[in-house]
Amino acid sequence: MRDHESDGARARRWLYGPAIAWFALVGLGLLATALDGDAWGSLDRSRSAVAGSSACRSCHPAAYESWRRTYHRTMTQRAGPPEVVLAPFAGESIDYLGFRATLTGGAAAPRIVITPAGGGPPTLEADVVMTVGSHRYQQYLARLDRGGGPEEVWRLPVAWHIGERRWIHLNAAFLEPEGAHGDASEYLRHLSRWNDNCALCHNTDPVPGLQDSGEYHTRVGELGIACEACHGHGSAHVARHQNPLRRMLGARDPGDGSIAHPGRLSPGTESGVCGRCHGNRISADVDAVLREGDGFVPGEALADVSRPIFLGSSVASDPEGTRALFAQRFWPDGTPRLSAYEYQGLLLSPCYQEEAPGGLGCNHCHDMHGARPELQVRAGMEGDAACLSCHDRDALGGGDRPGGHGGHGGRVTCYQCHMPRTTYGLLQGMISHRITSPDPGALVGRGDQPDACTQCHVDRSRTWAAEAMAGLGLAGTSPTRAPAAVESWASRVVLDLVGGDPIQRGLATHALARPEATGADAGARMAWLVDALEDEYPALRWMAWRALKRLAAEPSAVAPDRRAEVTAALAEFDTLAEPSERLVIIDRLRAALGAGAFAARPERREQLQEQQERVILWIGE
Amino acid sequence: MSPERHLRLSVGLVAVFLAMGLWLEAMIGLRLGGWVDDELRREFLRLGHAHGGLLGLVNVALAYALERLRTPAAWATRVRVAAWLGALLVGVGFVAGGLLHGPTDPGLPVLVVPAGALMLVVSLVATALVRPGDLAPPDVAARASEQR
C-alpha cells in the first residue's frame, strides 16, 4: 500500500511538477518586475533615442496601420520607390518667366533640368532625392552643395499639384508678385534650403546639424511625421516594455512615464504637440536649434523651448522689422490669417481650456489615428457634433430649427459662422481655428478684414450684415463708423476680390466658388471671377481659374450654348503663360460669361485696384 | 478520476468550447463593438475557443488510449485529472486573457496557459511511456503473475 501511494506521489510530481515550476517562475518574475524601480515611473525622456516606427508596430499594430494611412507619414519620403513620386517626370516641360524646366527620369530616377528659354547652359540640373508633401501638392528636393557642404539639400522651384495633376511653379504657390522675366534669381526665388527650413516641421526629430564651418550634417530620426514626433523618443519605452510581465502588470497603469500619450495630456500640453508645427513660433535659442534641433519633448510644455508668434510679436535682434513682418500674418484683431497658425487660433479661442481634463484642445476635434486621413477629424466630431459635445443645442435656442439660434435653421453649420473660412493656405481658403462669434458691425467702415456673414452672402455689404444681426436677434457691435464710400459700389466680397490685399483677394475668390455662397447665381459669380484671372499674383490667378472650373461644373452656371466654349477656354488657360496669351482666353471667357462687376463703371475698378497696389504683400504659403 | 467521468467531462469540455463558437459568431453577426473593434480580444477569444475545443477532443482520445493501453491505475487516474485540467486551463486562460487584456498584451490570466499546456503534454507523454506492468503495487503485480 505504501508503494502504491509512493507511485501516486511520483505520478503527481511528474504530472504537476512542470506546471508548479512555471507558476513559481512567473510569480517570482512578477514580484521582481513589480519591485523593479526602472520598470515604473517617469524617466528623463530627453535622453531617450528615436526607436523608429517599425519598433512600435509589434505592440501597437492598429495605431501603426492608422498612422500609415496618414499624410503625416508621407510628408517627407525618399525618392525611388514607384509609389513615392506622384508627378510623371516623363519629359514634361514648364515654360515660365523666360525659363524652361524639363522633368525626366520617371518615378524611379526623377531629374530636373532648367534652361533659359533663349538657349544657353542649364541654370540648374539636379536629381530628385526626396519629396515633401503628398496631399495637396508635392515638392521635390535635390542634393546641391551651395556652400553648405555635400549634405545640403534644396527644394526645387517647381511642384506637382496633386488635385489638378499639373505642374506649378513655386512663385505661383506663394502669395507674391510674379518676378522679373528672364531673371534667374527671381525664377529660383523658392530654391530654399531644406536642412534648416522644411526639415524642421516635416520630419521626426530633425537635427539641422549646422557646423561652425557653415556645413550642414543634417539628421532626422525618421523621414516624415512618424510616431515619435507626437509621442516623443521611444527607445526607453521600447526597452522598458521588452519584458512581457511589465506589459501585463502595466496594462491598467495609464501613466507610463516612458512615453507621451497626447490623449492623456491636458489640453494645453497635447495642443503644444501639434502647435510645434501647426503654430509658427520663435525659438528661445535659434542657434541651438540650427545645431541640435529644437529640443522639444512631446508631453512637456512647448513654451519651454519657444513662444508662438502673435500679432505684435517681435524678435529682439530686429524688433520693428520682425513686428511688421509678423503683422502681415494676422488680421487687425489678431486672428491668424495664414495656415500653420492653427495653434494660435486655438489659444485665442474662448473655448480653449488649457488645463481642464477633457477640455477643448486639438485632440477634442482631431484624431491622428482615425479612419480618414483627410483633415483627421475625430469620429463623432464631424460637423456640428464637435460643438454640440460641449454646447447644448436646445439651451442655445435650437440652431437647427427655423428661427432658432443664428436664425439660419439647419442650412448653416456652427463652423460656417464661428470658424469662417478667413484663413489662407496652400492655394485655398481654410477655416479659422480661432472660434469667434460673427460681429460684422465692428468692421463697418473698414475693408481690412473679412467677416463670416459676407463670406457666404456674397451679394451683400457689411452694413447689411450688421443690420441683419440685429434682425436675427444676435448680439453684435453697433457700427460706430459710417460705411466706407465704396460699400455702395458692390458687395463686400467683390470689393475684396478687386481691391483687397492678396489674402483678401484669395479668400474672396474661394468664397465665390463655395457651395454655401448665396445671393448671387453661379453665372454672375463666374463673371466676377474672370476679372481675377488678370491678377498680378500667379497664385491668385490659379485660385480664380480653379474656382471658375468648379462653378462651370454646376448645371445652371453657364448657358447651354456657351458651355462648350467656357469649358474649352478654361482647359486652355495657363496661369503661368505670358500675359498676352492669357488675355486672349480671358476675352473669350468674358464674351461667353458677360461683363464683370465694374464693366459699366471702370473708374471704380481702377480706383479699387490702385488701393490694392498700395498694399502689396509678399507672404508665405 | 474514473474513466467514465473523464470521458464525460472531456465531451463536456468540447461541448462548452464549441458552444462558445456560437457566441463568437453572434458577436460577428451583430457587429458588437467590443468584438469588431478590438483585435486583441478577438484573437484571444478565438484562441480560447479553438484550443478548448481541440484539447477537449485530445482528452476524449486520451480517455480511450488509457483504457486501450491498460495504463496502471496509479498513473491513469492522475493523468485523467491533469490532462483535463490542463485543457481547461489553456482554453480558459486564453479567454480570460482576451477579456481582461491591456492595450498591447493579453491580461495576466493568460499566464495559466503554459501551465495547462505543460500538464497536458506531460499527461500525453506519460500515457505513451507508462506500460501496464510499470510501477504497479506488489500485490497487484503478484496477482497478475499468478493469473499468467
Per-residue CA distances from A539 to A176, A384, A553, A569 (Å): 8, 32, 22, 19
| Whole-number pLDDT of residue B143 | 56
Question: For residue B130, what are the domain limits?
Answer: 3-147
Q: Do B118 and A23 touch (CB under 8 A)?
A: no
Res A13 pLDDT > 50: yes
User: Cβ–Cβ contacts within 10 Å for residue A599, how many?
Assistant: 12
Mean pLDDT for A493-520 is 96
Nearest Cα to A31, choosing from A348, A243, A203, A237? A243
C-alpha cell of residue A566: 467656357
Confidence of residue B10 (pLDDT cuts 50, 70, 90): very high
Note whether B135 contacts A: Cβ–Cβ < 8 A: yes
At position A64, the amino acid (one-letter code) is Y
Note whether B124 contacts A: Cβ–Cβ < 8 A: no
Res A123 pLDDT > 60: yes
Mean pLDDT for A395-418 is 86
Q: Find out whether B14 and B56 touch, Cβ atoms under 8 Å.
A: yes
Q: Find out whether A269 and A231 touch, Cβ atoms under 8 Å.
A: no
Cross-strand partners of A78: A130
**Residue that has been written with the C-alpha cell 436675427 in this structure:** A472
Q: Do A8 and B115 touch (CB under 8 A)?
A: no
Query: Where are chain A's structural domains?
Result: 76-207, 260-382, 447-613
pLDDT in tens, B37-53: 788 999 999 999 999 99
H/E stretch holding A154: strand A153-161
DSSP calls for A183-235 = -HHHHTTT--BSTTTHHHHSEEEEE--B-TTS-B--EEEEEBS-HHHHH---H
Average pLDDT of chain B? 90
Residue of A nearest to B112 (CA): A23
**Residue that has been written with the C-alpha cell 510644455 in this structure:** A301
Note whether B16 contacts A: Cβ–Cβ < 8 A: no
Gap between the Cα atoms of A342 and A348, Å rounded: 10
Q: What is the CA radius of gyration of chain A?
A: 29
Q: Find out whether A326 and A311 touch, Cβ atoms under 8 Å.
A: yes
Note whether B99 contacts A: Cβ–Cβ < 8 A: no
Q: Find out whether A459 and A491 touch, Cβ atoms under 8 Å.
A: yes
DSSP calls for A240-291 = HTTSHHHHHHGGG-TT-TTS--GGGS-HHHHHHHHHHHHS-EEES-HHHHHH
Confidence of residue A417 (pLDDT cuts 50, 70, 90): very high
Gap between the Cα atoms of A419 and A432, Å rounded: 5
Q: Find out whether A454 and A438 touch, Cβ atoms under 8 Å.
A: no
- What is the SS3 assignment for A578? coil
Gap between the Cα atoms of A520 and A518, Å rounded: 6
Confidence of residue B19 (pLDDT cuts 50, 70, 90): very high
H/E stretch holding B53: helix B39-68
Q: For A147, which DSSP code?
A: S
Q: What is the CA radius of gyration of chain B?
A: 19
| Whole-number pLDDT of residue A3 | 52
Per-residue CA distances from A23 to A114, A236, B87, B98, B119 (Å): 72, 29, 17, 20, 12
- What is the SS3 assignment for A127? strand
- CA A452 to chain centroid: 21
**More confident: A398 or A276:** A276
Per-residue CA distances from A440 to A27, A397, A469, A488 (Å): 70, 21, 8, 16
Mean pLDDT for A75-104 is 97
Torsion of CA B34, B36, B37, B38, to 10 degrees: 70
Chain B residues in contact with A4 by the CB 8 A cut-off are 74, 137
B112-115 — which CB contacts under 8 Å span 24+ positions?
Answer: B113/B89, B114/A22, B115/A19, B115/A22, B115/A23, B115/B86, B115/B89
Gap between the Cα atoms of B125 and B120, Å rounded: 9
Burial class (CB in 10 A: 0-12, 13-18, 19+), A139: buried
Least confident range of A38-52, A182-196, A395-409, A536-550 = A395-409
Total count of domains within chain B? 1
| Whole-number pLDDT of residue A621 | 54
pLDDT in tens, B127-145: 999 988 775 545 544 554 5
Mean pLDDT for A55-62 is 93
User: Cβ–Cβ contacts within 10 Å for residue A412, how many?
Assistant: 18
Cross-strand partners of A608: none
Note whether B33 contacts A: Cβ–Cβ < 8 A: no
Q: What is the predicted ipTM?
A: 0.89
| Whole-number pLDDT of residue A42 | 85
Note whether B71 contacts A: Cβ–Cβ < 8 A: no
Nearest Cα to A228, choosing from A373, A340, A72? A72
Res B35 pLDDT > 80: no
**A95: closest CA of chain B, how far (Å):** 52
Q: Do B115 and A12 touch (CB under 8 A)?
A: no
Burial B31-46 (b: 16+ CB within 10 A, else e): eeeebeebebbbebbb
Q: Which of B66, B89, B104, B112 to mutate to test the interface with A (most CBs of A within 10 A)?
A: B104
For chain A, what percent of residues have pLDDT higher than 90? Answer: 86
Q: Which of B77, B111, B120 to mutate to test the interface with A (most CBs of A within 10 A)?
A: B111
pLDDT in tens, A273-285: 999 999 999 999 9
Q: What pTM does this model have?
A: 0.89
Q: Which of A12, A14, A58, A264 to mutate to test the interface with B (most CBs of B within 10 A)?
A: A14
Question: Any idea how long chain B is?
Answer: 148
Per-residue CA distances from A580 to A336, A547, A565, A573, A575 (Å): 37, 22, 19, 12, 12
Q: Do A15 and B82 touch (CB under 8 A)?
A: yes
C-alpha neighbours within 13 Å on the C-beta side of residue A482? 4
Note whether B56 contacts A: Cβ–Cβ < 8 A: no
Res A410 pLDDT > 90: no
Nearest Cα to B62, choosing from B7, B105, B102? B7
Res A223 pLDDT > 80: yes
| Whole-number pLDDT of residue A465 | 96
Q: Do A250 and B102 touch (CB under 8 A)?
A: yes
Chain B residues in contact with A61 by the CB 8 A cut-off are 39
Average pLDDT of chain A? 94
Note whether B114 contacts A: Cβ–Cβ < 8 A: yes
Nearest Cα to A154, choosing from A180, A110, A191? A191
**More confident: A247 or A612:** A247
Note whether B127 contacts A: Cβ–Cβ < 8 A: no
DSSP calls for A362-402 = HHHHB-TTSS--STTBPTT-TTTHHHHTTS-TTTTT-TTST
